[in-house]
Amino acid sequence: MNDVERLKREAGISACDFIRDGMKLGLGTGSTVRYTVIEIGRRISEEGLNVVGVPTSEATRELAEKVGIPLISLAESGGLDLVIDGADEFDNDFSLIKGGGGALTREKIVAQSSKSMVVVADDRKQVEVLGEFDLPVEVLPFEWKRTRDRISSCCSGSVSIRGDSKPFVTDNGCYILDCNFGPSISDPISLEHELLSIAGVVEVGLFVGICDAVVLASNGGVLTLINDSGRLNE
């Protein structure tokens, strides 16, 4: 296991400390939160942890079933206690860029249906200003090039379809456009609103006012950053 993978594993496992018996959990998608899902399965089988989960992608569903996490639908849950997910970037205001794994729409639906959200990440993901990581935007396949052109009018860098000539298809049957804004997204909520106003845009990989804590792994250890204005302080 290389250093980056070790840090991901440490963060993913440490985030499980927020879990309490009887919780209804949102299970995120990505290479870091994968370790969270595996650890939840271990605690269920070895420690008798009693939780149920709502997966944010088919890949997470398959992993959760493999490690023995009981699953329910979001509708059946009646709302979640906690969602644990990854992020491609986060800033000092706990705003996020997500969607590197292509599950941003389901991830946002689940996150907005939860009482709190904890993000797992390694220290490469912490930035002053969002945008170095290309912003994912999920779009309808219908006339997607027209949607791309309209997005390009507000993005100074390139806007490219993920997968190029063989487009990546999300679990929702849509495409992902990766938008190179560069580290310039200082007002993510305004940009989110602007992009969502474009016909053909399904969802934008900006998560603003949702993240309550970040479990951050670095070579110096695991640090938990709490959002002072987040729901964990209520």
C-alpha distance from residue 10 to each of 7, 39, 98, 221, 223 (Å): 5, 11, 20, 8, 10
The residue length of the chain stands at 234
Count of beta carbons in the 10 Å neighbourhood of residue 173: 9
| Long-range contacts of residues 162-170, Cβ cutoff 8 Å, at least 24 apart | 162/102, 162/136, 167/141, 168/102, 170/102, 170/103, 170/105, 170/138
Three-class secondary structure of residue 232 per DSSP:
helix
Cβ pair 118, 36 in contact under 8 A:
no
User: CA 190, CA 150: separation in Å to the nearest integer?
Assistant: 16
Out of 107, 138, 192, 203, the active site residue is 107
Hey, which residues does 161 pair with through a beta bridge? 177
User: CA 177, CA 167: separation in Å to the nearest integer?
Assistant: 10
Active-site residue 76, yes or no? Answer: no
Q: Which residues are catalytic?
A: 107
